[in-house]
Chain A
Amino acid sequence: MNDTLLVDSIASAISSSTAVLIAATGELLVEKTGVYNIALEGVMLVGALTGFLVDLWTGSWMVGLLAAGAAGALYALLYGVITILFRTDLIVVGVALILIAQGVTNTLGTSHVGQTTRSVIPLWNVPGLSNIPFIGPAIFRQSVVTYIAILLPLGAIFLYSRTRHGLNMRSIGENPETADTSGIPVIGWRLFYTALGGLFAGVGGAVITLGIVKDWVSNVTAGEGWIAFAVVFFSGWQPGWIIVGAYFFGALSVLGYVGQALGWPISSQFFTILPYIGTVLVMILRAWLQRRRGQVSWPAALGLPFYRG
């Protein structure tokens, strides 16, 4: 029935956006301090495999997620040390780390290809709300992680608008020299947040293997890392828009399948590419609207290596 299809689609859109939401929030935290982690896709892969294997080992999805986070944090920290500390080229190192991640995870995971996840992240029916006709099953029968995931960007909003720490971190991303003169350790915090972003991305990757796709295949993240990266740009570095962006992208991809199932004349690919076109247009639009102000929408020091003095 059309109704069931719609409900299922919405539920599916929400759940499949979870991984992107988590990873994108993490990347936002990193980029606010002026660093971008091009290796995001690789970090998510590392997390995806780690989560899957630890889950297999221990039979617990929770431990799997934790381990994935730790692995992601370490891998991202590696990226951070190579690029932030040694001032190497962000793009080349990022791509290199993605290649390494693909190579290593696919190799280690070969024997597990197609294997289903041992302990899957369970869905949770929100008491009461999940019984509301139509909306209930669509929105309120998600996994715990999905609900927690929404808290992350909200937390980021709070961090950047209401805390002293958030202000200091933003200053690192805008003008690291000033932050440095004001007594804030620039390199140290950049490394910290790169690792933290990696933790989020690792968890996001594990959410894919443990919660969405629920098995392991080669390159299981299938570009979700890149989508998360694009979402950060789409959001204009504002955490609230990360939520919009992540769900928007998720919805569009689901829409593609729905369209196919319903026999719409528009092909599914149209929906697949829409978010990317959208992001490019949004970026151009923002730049055009803000050219009077003379300010850029991204953290002014994004991507620039920091040298003291």
Chain B
Amino acid sequence: MSVEPARRVLSNYTPVTHARPPRLRWRIERRAQPLNLSLFRFGAVFIGIILSLAAAPLFTTASPRSLYDAMWSGTFGTATGLANVLTIAIPLLIAGLAASIPYRLQLWNVGIDGQIYIGAWAATGISYHLTSQRSFVIIPIMFLGAMIAGALWILIPALARVYLGVSEVIPTFLMNFVALGWLMYWATGPWYAPSAAGGVFAIAIPPQADLGNLNIGSLAVDWGILLAVSLPILFWAANRFTRWGYEVTMIGASEKAGRYAGMNVRRTLIAAMLSGGALGGLAGALNLMGSSYQLGPGVTNNTGFNGLIIAVLAGANELGVLVLGLVYAVLLSAGDAIQVVGASADMVFAVIGITLIFGTFGEAYARLHLVRTRAPEPSLAETGGTG
């Protein structure tokens, strides 16, 4: 049996008499040297915010005047507004940190909401047993408990990631739901407190656990704001100046190089994850002890997700988290305020979503560029089909 006929069937090689000149095509490729990522990220977010604010009147029946007025008074215009911004900012900034520390090592902590729930739960539970104690005893212990709970909550996904290579995205994310279920069980069961306003709330934490307000003139915001503002700076400094921070920076930039330098990569990864979990728990405790005072599902309002987004947009830089977090809080507070004049809070979500997409485009622009290539027009027939 001759081999030739079979080969002819399998080969699509058809000679032509001339070569067609290659067509010019556009293609998206990575840049050899990325542009300044922070600049483009922040810039893009900034532009996104401006555009959204400008477009806001389109989405509501309220008059633009009343809309902007409400936004202003809800944020910088009044003391209450400013207080609202800062109150929102407290758990948000900590959540941002909870995401950014793992993110420095390219680890995604998508379970911050769950850590918030579990942290608040732990703090609540502890507070019930320490009702006779003074503030300066009860508060630190509650914080500690919340942080330990948060760290434990992320432990299994962290171990699975470091030792089995299981992506931490889904496990941390699914633990959110588990935490919510756990919280709901306690809040509707053993700790249930009937509430006139309806909704799910547990028995209130003892008054000594209340963080109390820091009063600056007519501005009243709870003491948690000090932590929320100082921790990002602290962590930034730690990353910059301590040995731990040095290792995180180097390993985050190149795991290979970290190993080469004798660093314990696994330990660093796990420590970063656990820190993220602990901070998530802390965020929950801060919300509980600063504003809600009763355990319930409202202890977070997508705060964890928002924190993650802030961390990504800030490029894991803690100072960026501080700035972006405050900006975000302003947006959210404005969103609260415009509901008074009839606009819906949901539009705020949409606005934030659009801003985020701007942000990612900004980053993509810094990383990629459009290239005009002589993507070859095959001068000979092409094999393979379209599947």
Contact = CB atoms under 8 A, between A and B. Distances in A.
Contacts of A124: none
Contacts of B178: 273, 276-277
B346 A102 contact: yes
Interface stretch (B118-126, B168-176, B218-226): B168-176
B139 to A, nearest CB: 29
B305 interface: yes
Contact of A92 (B164, B309, B351, B368): B309
Query: Which of B175, B346, B351, B361: most chain A CB closer than 10 A?
Result: B346
Nearest to B358: A96
B156 A96 contact: no
Contact of B387 (A101, A189, A280, A296): A189
A93 interface: yes
Interface string A84-97: 01111101110111
A212 interface: no
A283 B312 CA distance: 26
A107 interface: yes
A4 interface: no
Interface stretch (A57-65, A142-150, A161-169, A194-202): A161-169
Given A276-B177, A280-B157, A165 B387 contact: yes
Interface residues of B, number: 58
Interface stretch (B24-32, B78-86, B236-244, B248-256): B24-32
Contacts of B387: 164-165, 168-169, 184, 189
The dominant DSSP class at the A interface is helix
Contact of A107 (B164, B308, B346, B385): B346
Given A89-B360, A103-B350, A291-B164, A183 B385 contact: yes
A82 to B, nearest CB: 7
Contacts of B385: 183
Given A93-B360, A226-B173, A273-B181, 8 more contacts: A82-B361, A85-B28, A95-B309, A96-B309, A96-B356, A99-B352, A101-B353, A106-B346
Interface of A: 82, 85-89, 91-93, 95-107, 110, 164-165, 168-169, 182-185, 188-189, 218, 223, 226, 230, 233, 267, 269-270, 272-273, 276-277, 279-280, 283-284, 287-288, 291, 296, 307-308
20 contacts: A86-B364, A92-B313, A92-B356, A93-B356, A96-B353, A100-B350, A103-B346, A183-B384, A184-B384, A184-B386, A233-B170, A267-B189, A272-B181, A277-B174, A280-B171, A283-B160, A283-B171, A284-B160, A287-B160, A287-B166
Interface of B: 27-30, 59, 108, 110, 156-157, 160, 164-166, 169-171, 173-175, 177-178, 180-182, 184-185, 188-189, 305, 308-309, 312-313, 344, 346-354, 356-357, 359-361, 363-364, 367-368, 382-387
